[in-house]
């Protein structure tokens, strides 16, 4: 069961040792490795079936037949035709796992990984827990999603440890890649369209397919709770569709339990790093194509550091929902007739989804560069504001990094800082891994921002670098976001009264609901936990009705509030200029009225707009093209004001 | 012993192979019949049936007499007092702290072999070589680790009777026998739930009735109920005492004098109506006596609950009982034509015996399942049938439980279920196997080995997955054989292989000895129980898997050191669903409060049943054990309806066992 304090859990997990799986690959034959016998443990109630038998089971299943007849009645099309369509959908969707393809990948990926990465660390205890869990109940693997590599990497690791290979829900865009799509299919991927909200038949085929895989115990199912790759390295709010699909068999009593297993994949350097930054700045995402993949070959020549893969604690859905869900709600109707789950189930699923993402976050391994990027960004913005020369002396950076290291450890971060090496060496070797982002000249470290011909071009070039650094800073946001929200709440309420801080805190939490992983309904718990952390860090003395900032607390609090500052200001900008946000933000930055070029990130703008829409400040106009919004001026103005710091009276 | 309550009473029965193999699987006389050839058996069988018919027509004039009370009866079809099975002092022939007859029990002999004592059952006097290994292997039990029961009831363990003097005085004047002897009282203070028996074995006794009365007829009951109402005495009707729902426990909070009303002496068949094929009985008659007496004149009711050796007709009515041959004869509600019940407001009964009526809600359905909360069922008219000419057991082995359930479902769909069809899961199949008595001939064991080889090696069945269905066909010979073929053909479609009559018969025998086995387990730190539910067909597999798994998980969580036995079987098929029985037992060494652990696990299992769409009970009833789930089972309005009936019929709560509501 989840402990509500991720921090407590991250303490626990530190017992798990990581092992580098590439080490053996460097010392023994890849071919032999790819061809060795593979006999994973199986689910105790597994019904062995071929991929084709599975398809038949799905097509003949009661739920699908029901929807086929329903669609046929509603649309007036003959049943056979609808059935054939269902069959075609399934054909397009279904995986075709073949051990030979897996072996091919085992061989080639060994080569590729050894070139790209220094090491791939895996917590073996986690693998053992997984192997145990796989035998007991159907297992759903939920890795974090930062890179295309994620799912190949997962399968590679599971193959290495003789653990059942998962079938993986993949986006349809992969299918566009000739050959590769089919290769991925044969390595266990199944493909789903990105959006099929209204398509009843598609949904029925899809959910029946996934549930059949699950119920038959055919293989662990793997999908990304975040729905898509996070371009910002910040966890995305969980998408509930697939989660609902895999949980339904439990709520309907069709399986005894479902085991959910969050997996945290941390890259020291993400392959798609600069690609993401461009994408966020509005340069369109290159369509996945095979030739594109080959162009990406130059990627192969660079050093991407290490990967850490942490297999988290298995979560029993049964235990988690015990006493909170009435499974008997499905008693009175045949279970193959689609029925919306009750509020009790929805509530549990949402909470579970957020807890799982938080769990992924808690087990993310942070590298020293994350700290350095954070510090350099703050330094950059401060110098912009004060007009000083940007950059820091190496020694100063090291000192501040050690301070931040201790603070983040105190807050429960999983930090991969080699304590046995001199700090200065850690810092410089970490900087060397990112020559495109930071430069060291004359003993000063600064962001690698270059001049360009036009101010706008320069802004975009620099924004690429900033956003890349931001993606490192973002990796540690989850560690600080709780206390940082309190620090910012103290600023915008300019009060030390707990109730006023709580009000502002709740406002901010609501505002940033799409930006950070904040469990719905957890406001009070978050607040008291954040107060505790701040007290532990000696940043705050908390009394029954008010708080006091001790002398040594200012440094921490100002660090924390400046972490959120870009978001506060960014959201203000969005409020001010909605609906033509982007154009105006460029103007503001060029005019020096906004120092955070990361506000240009489409991700931030999208999240802010989502928040505005949820809070009723803007309304999408139906039928109009994208970006056409109806703005509630009063509301937007109020939000903008509230986000700003109050003038000290 | 003066009244030897052996099932077949007369000598002629002993020599004639019983047609009623199922019933006789309880009884010792049949042990020789398996050696007699089939043809011979059938011939004798026919003779007997025909004899029965002839006899009956000759006697019919003199036999059928409605009787008012014992005193006025001269000669009737009723069992006279010398042959009835249940004496007033039950403890003379039955265990006071365990199941069934005192002379019949399992034990491990000095060689460590299991044997079953006594002479009553097919298994009696036989060695069961496989039981020890199964027992030790399944439960992690050890024959060195005994947990013996307190041998004798300490009379100080009970509170002195709290007698209502005025009631006792007036009762004396009616001449109805009564007692406040400790043994009599303790015997009627419990049913056969695990916690009840466990406490008795430890010599612990809670609140017990203050006295026991034995009415002899309907009128006696009327007098008792009148007096109880007049003097505000709490009455708890007691039939066979086989309750497994804590329905006989005296409410600890009851301050009035509690009187146990034992119906066992109201055990006559009062008349038989051959034109309408009905029989009218006193409700205290127990199942085996009823069947035996009817069989003697060529009839049967066909109602055979697993407890029929001891349970009473009134108890069946009061709990909505179900018999294993309900596919032919129906459950108790289908069998009952007329019920007479004495309530504090007077006697309730219908004014005619029409086969079906549209006269508002059927008042019988207020009585059926009322669990002794409204009054005492005194007399019942029931349907009877001519005895079946032919009976045949059978069994089918399936590669796995899923296939077995699919087969039963198909049998139910085609409405061709035999008299009984039951599907045991793999664990129970192994259990059944362990109960095979020692085979006398080398040949039999050779054949058994061959069969096993054929099924597991040749047919590729996995011994850890295969399961077995047991079948019982009855009717006229030709139809039985035809029916048998139909069922086996369906079974074949689901991968089923016919596995012989013996396996089938042993399966049914298990039903009757399993309660004895629990006592053996309790001698060696193993406790267990069974419970049942009914569920729609599409949920059968899910509920079986989930409930069994829940039991295993709960045991682990509650600190049970060894994996429990958690097994199930499908025991009845209906058009729209099935009845499922779960068996659950574990080794409680190392637990400080095993009964509490047991109760927690059973509670969790029931929650799991309800969450998976199972009913609160198929036939055991609610009692006080399952009361907490009644509201969600029948809705608040439903509760109100039952409550208002109770309030009208028994405003002073004379029938104060507090079952059901």
**DSSP string over B124-148:** TT-EETTHHHHHHHHH---TT---P
Return the structure tokens found at A362. 């808690």
From residue B597, give the alpha-carbon distance in Å to each of A339, B134, B137, B243, B571. 37, 23, 22, 21, 27
- Which pLDDT score is estimated for A441? 84
Q: Is B581 a catalytic residue?
A: yes
Residue among A49, A327, A336 with most chain B CBs within 10 A, to mutate: A327
The CATH number for B554's domain is 3.30.300.330
Mean pLDDT of chain B, nearest integer: 87
The neighbour count for residue B91, using CB atoms within 10 Å, is: 16
In angstroms, the CA B563 to CA A439 distance is 64
A256 contacts B550? CB cut-off 8 A: yes
Dihedral angle, C-alpha B264, B268, B269, B270, nearest 10 °: -130
Q: Are strands B106-108 and B299-300 parallel, antiparallel or unpaired?
A: unpaired
Looking at residue A288, its pLDDT comes to 56
**Residues of chain B contacting residue A331, judged by C-beta atoms under 8 Å apart:** 613
Residues of chain A with pLDDT under 50: 1-13, 647-649
A45 touches chain B (CB under 8 A): yes
Q: Give me the residue from A45, A253, A257 closest to B612, CB to CB.
A: A253
Query: What is the distance in angstroms between the Cα of B496 and the nearest Cα belonging to chain A?
Result: 19
Query: For the domain that residue B329 is a member of, what is the CATH number?
Result: 3.30.465.10
Query: Which three-class secondary structure string do you get for A21-77?
Result: HHHHHHHCCHHHHHHCCCCCCCCCCCCCCCHHHHHHHHHHCHHHHHHHHHHHHHHCC
Across the interface, whether the CB atoms of A253 and B611 are under 8 A apart is answered: yes
The answer to whether residues B515 and B600 touch, using CB atoms and an 8 Å cutoff, is no
Contact A254 B542 (CB under 8 A): yes
Measured between beta carbons, the chain B residues lying within 8 angstroms of A334 are: 538
Would B593 be classed as within a structural domain?
A: yes
**Is B243 marked as a binding-site residue?**
yes
Q: Do B546 and A334 count as a contact with CB atoms less than 8 A apart?
A: no
Rounded to two decimals, the pTM is: 0.88
Where among B367, B386, B405 does a domain terminate? B386
Q: Considering the domain boundaries, does residue B305 fall inside one? A: yes
User: Any binding-site annotation on B182?
Assistant: no
Q: Does A288 touch chain B (CB under 8 A)?
A: no
| Residue of A253, A257, A334 lying closest to B542 (CB–CB) | A253
Question: How high is the pLDDT of residue B22?
Answer: 39
Whether residue B376 lies inside any domain: the answer is yes
- Chain A: residue whose CA lies nearest to B546: A256
Strand partners, B116: B106
Q: What is the nearest CA distance from B612 to chain A, expressed in angstroms?
A: 6
**Taking CB atoms and an 8 Å limit, are B613 and A334 in contact across chains?**
no
Cβ separation B611–A335 shorter than 8 A = no
- Select the residue of B545, B550, B610 nearest A328 (Cβ to Cβ): B610
Please report the residues numbered 324 through 353 in chain A whose beta carbons come closer than 8 angstroms to any beta carbon of chain B.
Answer: 326-328, 330-331, 334-335
End-to-end C-alpha distance for chain B, whole angstroms: 42
Q: How many CB atoms lie within 10 A of CB A467?
A: 26
Nearest CA distance, A329 vs chain B (angstrom): 8
pLDDT of residue B653 exceeding 90, the answer is yes
DSSP B27: S
Place of tokens 């590769």: A180
Give the single-character DSSP code of B388.
Answer: P
Cis ω before B650 (30° cut-off from 0): no
> Does B296 fall in a domain?
yes
Annotated catalytic residue, options B329, B581, B588, B598? B581
Q: Which two tokens stand for residue B332?
A: 């108790």
pLDDT of res. A151: 86
The Cα-based distances of B313 to A529, B291, B310 in angstroms read 65, 11, 10
Pseudo-torsion of CA A227, A233, A235, A239, nearest 10°? -10
Residue B80 has pLDDT above 70, yes or no: no
Report how far residue B284's alpha carbon sits from residue B315's, in angstroms, rounded to the nearest whole number.
8
Q: Which of residues 600-629 of B touch A (CB under 8 A)?
A: 610-613
Rounded CA-CA distance B479/B483 in Å is 6
Residues β-bridged to residue B154: none
Contacts of B632 in chain A (CB under 8 A): 328
Structure token digits, residue B289: 């006596």
Is A261 in contact with A130 (CB distance < 8 Å)? yes
- For residue B345, give its domain range: 269-386
Residues in chain A with CB shorter than 8 Å from the CB of B610 are 328
Does residue B235 belong to any structural domain of this protein?
no
* Structure confidence at residue B23 (pLDDT): 38
Chain B residues with CB under 8 Å of A49 CB are none
How would you class B433 by CB atoms within 10 Å of its CB: exposed for 0-12, middle for 13-18, buried for 19 or more? middle
Does B504 appear as a known binding residue?
Answer: no
What is the pLDDT, as a whole number, of residue B15? 35
pLDDT score recorded for residue A433: 87
Q: Does residue B198 form part of some domain?
A: no
CB-based burial label for A105 (10 Å; 0-12, 13-18, 19+): buried
| Terminal-residue alpha carbon distance, chain A | 48
Residue ranges of B 545-564 with Cβ closer than 8 A to chain A: 545-546, 549-550
Put simply, the answer to whether B545 touches A328 (Cβ < 8 Å) is: no
ipTM of predicted assembly, 2 dp: 0.87
Is position B319 within any domain? yes
The two beta strands, B127-128 and B114-116, are antiparallel
Of A45, A326, A335, the CB nearest to B538: A335
With CA atoms as reference, report the closest residue to A586 among A427, A462, A409. Answer: A462
Q: Is there a contact between A253 and B538 if contact means CB atoms under 8 Å apart?
A: no
* Cβ <8 Å between B545 and A256: yes
The answer to whether the Cβ–Cβ distance between B538 and A328 falls below 8 Å is: no
Give the per-residue pLDDT at B450.
Answer: 65
Is residue B427 one of the residues assigned to a domain? no
Reported as a single tens digit per residue, the pLDDT across B444-502 is 666 676 677 677 767 778 888 999 999 999 999 999 999 999 999 999 999 999 988 88
Cβ B611–A334 below 8 Å, yes or no? no
Distance CA A243, CA A348 (A): 11
Number of domains in chain B: 2
pLDDT in tens, B321-339: 999 999 999 999 999 999 9
DSSP 3-state of B525: coil
Per CB-CB distance under 8 Å, the chain A contacts of B613 are: 253, 328, 330-331
Q: Which domains does chain A have, with CATH numbers?
A: 18-363 (no CATH), 366-448 (1.10.10), 449-477+489-648 (no CATH)
* More confidently predicted of B512 and A301: B512
């Amino acid at each position: 069961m989840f402990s509500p304090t991720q921090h407590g859990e991250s303490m626990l997990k530190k017992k798990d040792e990581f092992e580098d799986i590439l080490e053996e690959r460097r010392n023994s034959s890849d071919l032999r490795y790819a061809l060795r016998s593979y006999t994973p443990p199986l689910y105790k109630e597994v019904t062995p079936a071929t991929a084709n038998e599975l398809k038949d089971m799905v097509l003949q299943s009661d739920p699908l037949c029901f929807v086929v007849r329903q669609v046929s009645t509603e649309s007036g099309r003959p049943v056979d035709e609808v059935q054939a369509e269902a069959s075609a959908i399934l054909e397009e969707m279904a995986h075709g796992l073949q051990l030979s393809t897996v072996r091919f990948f085992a061989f080639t990926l060994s080569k590729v990984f050894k070139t790209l990465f220094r090491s791939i660390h895996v917590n073996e205890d986690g693998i053992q827990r997984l192997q145990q869990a796989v035998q007991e109940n159907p297992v759903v693997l939920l890795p974090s999603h930062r890179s295309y590599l994620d799912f190949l990497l997962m399968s590679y690791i599971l193959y290495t440890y003789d653990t059942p290979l998962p079938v993986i829900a993949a986006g349809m865009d992969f299918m566009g890649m000739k050959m590769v799509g089919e290769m991925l299919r044969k390595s266990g991927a199944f493909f789903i369209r990105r959006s099929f909200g209204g398509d009843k038949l598609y949904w029925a085929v899809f959910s029946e397919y996934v549930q059949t895989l699950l119920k038959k115990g055919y293989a662990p199912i793997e999908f990304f709770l975040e729905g898509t790759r996070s371009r910002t390295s910040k966890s995305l709010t969980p998408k509930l569709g697939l989660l609902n699909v895999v949980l339904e068999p439990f709520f309907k009593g069709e399986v005894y339990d479902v085991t959910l297993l969050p997996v945290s994949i941390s890259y020291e350097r993400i392959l798609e790093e600069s690609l993401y930054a461009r994408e966020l700045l509005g340069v369109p995402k290159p369509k996945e194509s095979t030739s594109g993949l080959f162009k990406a070959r130059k990627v192969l020549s660079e050093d991407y550091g290490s990967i850490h893969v942490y297999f988290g604690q298995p979560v029993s859905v049964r235990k988690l929902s015990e006493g909170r869900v009435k499974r008997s709600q499905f008693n009175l109707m045949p279970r193959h007739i689609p029925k919306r789950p009750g509020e009790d189930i929805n509530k549990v699923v949402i909470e579970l989804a957020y807890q799982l993402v938080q769990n992924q976050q808690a087990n993310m391994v942070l590298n020293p560069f994350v700290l350095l990027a954070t510090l350099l960004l703050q330094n950059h913005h401060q110098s912009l504001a004060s007009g000083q020369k940007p950059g820091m002396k190496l020694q100063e950076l090291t000192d501040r990094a050690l301070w931040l290291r201790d603070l983040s450890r105190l807050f429960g971060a999983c930090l991969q800082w080699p304590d046995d090496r001199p700090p200065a060496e850690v810092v410089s070797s970490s900087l060397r891994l990112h020559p495109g982002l930071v430069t060291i000249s004359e003993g000063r470290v600064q962001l690698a921002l270059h001049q360009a011909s036009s101010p706008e071009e320069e802004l975009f070039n620099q924004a690429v670098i900033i956003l890349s650094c931001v993606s490192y800073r973002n990796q540690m946001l989850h560690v600080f976001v709780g206390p940082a929200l309190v620090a910012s709440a103290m600023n915008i309420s300019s009060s030390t009264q707990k109730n006023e801080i709580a009000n502002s805190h709740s406002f901010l939490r609501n505002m940033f609901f799409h930006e950070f992983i904040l469990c719905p309904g957890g406001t009070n718990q978050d607040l008291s936990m954040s107060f505790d952390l701040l007290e532990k860090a000696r940043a705050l003395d908390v009394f029954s009705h008010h708080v006091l900032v001790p002398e040594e607390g200012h440094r921490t609090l100002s660090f924390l509030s400046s972490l959120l500052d870009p978001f506060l200001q960014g959201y203000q900008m969005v409020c001010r200029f909605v609906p033509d946000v982007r154009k105006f933000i460029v103007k503001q930055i060029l005019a020096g009225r906004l120092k955070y070029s990361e506000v240009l990130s489409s991700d931030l703008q999208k999240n802010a707009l989502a928040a505005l829409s949820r809070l009723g400040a803007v309304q999408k106009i139906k039928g109009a093209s994208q970006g056409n919004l109806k703005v509630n001026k009063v509301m937007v103005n109020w939000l903008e004001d509230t986000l700003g710091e109050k003038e000290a009276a | 012993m003066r009244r030897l309550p052996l099932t077949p009473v007369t000598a002629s029965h002993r020599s004639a192979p019983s047609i009623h193999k199922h019933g006789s699987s309880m009884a010792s006389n049949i042990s020789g019949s398996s050696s007699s050839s089939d043809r011979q058996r059938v011939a004798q069988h026919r003779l007997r049936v025909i004899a029965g018919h002839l006899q009956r027509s000759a006697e019919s004039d003199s036999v059928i007499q409605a009787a008012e009370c014992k005193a006025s009866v001269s000669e009737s079809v009723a069992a006279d007092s010398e042959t009835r099975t249940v004496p007033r002092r039950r403890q003379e022939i039955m265990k006071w702290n365990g199941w069934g007859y005192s002379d019949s029990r399992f034990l491990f002999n000095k060689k460590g072999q299991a044997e079953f004592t006594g002479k009553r059952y097919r298994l009696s006097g036989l060695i069961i070589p496989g039981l020890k290994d199964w027992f030790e292997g399944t439960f992690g039990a050890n024959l060195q680790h005994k947990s013996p029961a307190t041998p004798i009831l300490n009379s100080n363990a009970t509170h002195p009777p709290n007698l209502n003097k005025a009631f006792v005085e007036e009762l004396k004047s009616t001449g109805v026998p009564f007692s406040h002897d400790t043994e009599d009282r303790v015997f009627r203070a419990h049913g056969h739930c695990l916690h009840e028996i466990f406490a008795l074995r430890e010599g612990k006794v809670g609140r017990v009735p203050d006295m026991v009365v034995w009415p002899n007829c309907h009128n006696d009951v009327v007098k008792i109920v009148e007096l109880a109402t007049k003097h505000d005495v709490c009455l708890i009707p007691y039939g066979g005492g086989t309750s497994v729902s804590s329905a006989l426990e005296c409410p600890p909070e009851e301050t009035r004098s509690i009187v146990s009303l034992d119906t066992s002496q109201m055990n006559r068949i009062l008349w038989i109506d051959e034109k309408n094929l009905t029989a009218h009985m006193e409700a205290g008659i127990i199942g085996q006596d009823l069947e035996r007496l009817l069989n003697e004149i060529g009839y049967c009711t066909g109602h055979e609950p697993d407890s029929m050796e001891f349970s009473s007709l009134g108890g069946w009515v009061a709990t909505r009982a179900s018999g294993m041959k309900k596919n032919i004869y129906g459950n108790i509600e289908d069998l009952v034509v007329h019920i007479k019940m004495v309530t504090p407001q007077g006697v309730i009964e219908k004014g005619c015996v029409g086969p079906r009526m549209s006269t508002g809600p059927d008042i019988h359905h207020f009585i059926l399942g009322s669990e002794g909360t409204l009054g005492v069922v005194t007399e019942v008219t029931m349907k009877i049938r001519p005895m079946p000419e032919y009976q045949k057991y059978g069994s089918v082995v399936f590669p796995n439980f899923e296939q077995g359930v699919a087969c039963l479902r198909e049998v139910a769909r085609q409405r061709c279920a035999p008299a009984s069809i039951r599907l045991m899961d793999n664990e129970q199949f192994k259990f059944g196997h362990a109960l095979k008595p020692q085979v006398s001939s080398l040949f039999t064991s050779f054949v058994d080995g061959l069969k096993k080889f054929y099924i597991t090696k040749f047919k590729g069945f996995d011994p850890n997955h295969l399961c077995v269905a047991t079948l019982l066909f009855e009717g006229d010979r030709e139809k039985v054989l035809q029916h048998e073929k139909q069922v086996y053909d369906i079974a074949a479609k689901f991968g089923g292989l016919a596995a012989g009559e013996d396996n089938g018969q042993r399966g049914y025998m298990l039903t009757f000895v399993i309660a004895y086995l629990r006592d053996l387990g309790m001698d060696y730190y193993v406790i267990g129980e069974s419970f049942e539910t009914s569920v729609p067909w599409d949920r059968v597999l899910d509920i079986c898997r989930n409930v069994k798994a829940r039991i295993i998980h709960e045991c682990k969580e509650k600190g049970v050191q060894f994996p429990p036995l958690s097994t199930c079987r499908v025991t009845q098929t209906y058009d729209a669903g099935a009845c499922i029985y779960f068996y659950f037992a574990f080794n409680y060494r190392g637990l400080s409060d095993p009964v509490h652990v047991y109760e927690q696990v059973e509670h969790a299992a029931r929650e799991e049943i309800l969450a998976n769409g199972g009913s609160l009970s198929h036939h055991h009833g609610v009692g006080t054990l399952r009361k907490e789930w009644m509201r969600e089972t029948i809705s608040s309005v439903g509760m109100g309806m039952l409550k208002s009936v109770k309030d009208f019929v028994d405003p002073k709560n004379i029938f104060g066992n507090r079952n059901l509501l």
